[in-house]
Structure 1
Amino acid sequence: MNSRAPSRSDAYDVALIGLSARALARSARRAGLRALALDLFADADTSEHAAKAVRVAPARQGPGLDGRALTAALAAHAPEGLPVVLGPGFEHAPRLMTRIAERNPLIGATPETVRLLKDPIRFAALLAAVGAPHPELVAAAGDQVLSKRRGGSGGAHIRAAEGLPRRGRYFQRRVDGRSVSALFVCDGREAQIIGFSEQWTDPTPAAPFRYGGAVGPIALDAVLARKVAAALSRIVAATGLVGLASADLLLPDDQLTFWLLEINPRPGATLDVFDRAPAPALLGLHLSACRGLPPEPPPRFTRAQAAGVLYAEAPTSVASLRRPVWTADWPACEEIVPAGAPVCTVLAAGASPSAARALFFERRAALLASLRAASRPARGQLTMVFG
Structure 2
Amino acid sequence: MKGRVLVAGFATRHVVCSAVRAGYEVYAIDHFCDQDLCAAATAHSSFEELADLPELIAGICADHSIDWFVGTSGAEMLTVPVRRAGTTPKISARFLDKEHIQEFFEENGIPAPCRACGTYPAMLKPRHGAGGWRNRLVHSAADVTAWEEEWPEVPSILQEVIDGVPASVSCIADGHRAVAIAVNDQILRGGDGNRAFGFSGSITPSDHPAAEAMMAIAEQAVALSGCVGSVGVDFMVGEDGVRAIEINPRFQGTLDTVEAATGLNLFDLHIEACTGILPERRPAAQRACARAILFADRDLTVERDLMAYADCCADIPWPGTSIEEGSAVVSVYGRGADRAAACSELDRNITRLRQYIS
TM-score over 0.5 for the alignment? Answer: yes
Asked if residue 205 in structure 1 is aligned to residue 186 in structure 2, the reply is no
Alignment pair present for 1:46 and 2:6: no
Partner of 1:22: 13
How far residue 311 of structure 1 moved from its aligned partner, in angstroms, is 0.7
Q: Tell me how far apart the structure 1 counterparts of residues 267 and 230 of structure 2 sit (CA, whole Å).
A: 8
> Equivalences for 1:193-272 in 2 at 5 Å?
193-206=180-193, 207-221=195-209, 224-253=210-239, 257-272=241-256
For the Cα contact (< 8 Å) 2:117–2:158, is it kept in 1?
yes
Structure 1 partner of 2:163 = 176
The corresponding residue for 2:73 is 88
Q: Encode CA deviations 1:297-335: one digit per residue, 9 max, x unaligned.
A: 233332200112111111122214654231111111121
Cα drift, residue 341 of structure 1: 1.0
Structure 2 CA distance for partners of 1:233 and 1:51, relative to 1, 3 Å: same
TM-score normalised according to structure 1 size: 0.81
**Which amino acid in 2 is paired with 1:43?**
D
- Farther-moved stretch of structure 1 (239-248 vs 321-330): 321-330
Letter in structure 1 aligned against 2:59: A
Amino acid paired to 1:187: D
Partners of 1:49 and 1:296 in 2: CA distance:
30
Q: CA deviation at 1:227?
A: 3.6
What is the identity, as a one-letter code, of the residue corresponding to 1:40?
H
Contact 1:179–1:250 (Cα < 8 Å) also in 2: yes
User: Cα distance, 1:370 vs. partner?
Assistant: 3.8
CA distance in 1, matches of 2:357, 2:262: 35
Farther off after superposition, 126-135 or 225-234: 225-234
1:71 matched to 2:48:
no
State the partner residue of 2:151.
none
1:230 to 1:11, Cα distance in 2 relative to 1, 3 A:
closer
Task: Give the secondary structure class of the aligned counterpart of 2:345.
Answer: helix
User: Which range moved further: 294-303 or 125-134?
Assistant: 294-303
Aligned to 2:268: 284
Contact kept in structure 2, 1:130 and 1:231, CA below 8 Å: no
CA shift, 1:39, in A, is: 0.6
Q: How does 1:356-371 map to 2 (within 5 A)?
A: 356-371=342-357
Which of 113, 117, 120 aligns to 2:98? It is 120
- CA apart distance, 1:131: 2.0
Counterpart residue number, 2:288: 304
Cα distance in 2, alignment partners of residues 359 and 143 from structure 1: 40
8 Å CA contact 1:249, 1:258 repeated in 2:
yes
CA contact (8 A) 2:289 2:336 kept: yes
Q: 2:175 aligns with which of 155, 169, 188?
A: 188
Q: CA deviation at 1:364?
A: 2.2
* Larger helix proportion of the pair: 2
Whole-angstrom distance in 2 between the partners of 1:151 and 1:296: 34
CA pair 296-40 structure 1, distance change in 2 beyond 3 A: farther
Cα gap change, 1:168/1:24 in structure 2, threshold over 3 Å: closer, same or farther?
same
Structure with the larger strand share: 2
- Partners of 1:135 and 1:251 in 2: how far apart? 11
Aligned residues: 343
On the 8 A contact 1:313/1:339 being kept in 2, the answer is yes
8 Å contact kept, 2:111–2:242: yes
Specify the structure having the higher radius of gyration (Cα).
1
1:107 and 2:85 correspond: yes
Unaligned residue ranges in structure 1 (runs of 5+): 1-9, 60-65, 373-387
Q: Percent identity?
A: 26
Per-residue Cα deviation, 1:229-262 (whole angstroms, up to 9, x for no partner) = 34333323433111001111111136xx211000
| Partner Cα distance (1:331, 1:354) in 2 | 29
Shift in alpha-carbon separation, 1:301–1:237, aligned structure 2, 3 A: closer
Assess if the C-alpha contact under 8 Å between 2:5 and 2:66 holds in 1.
no
CA RMSD of aligned residues (A): 2.4
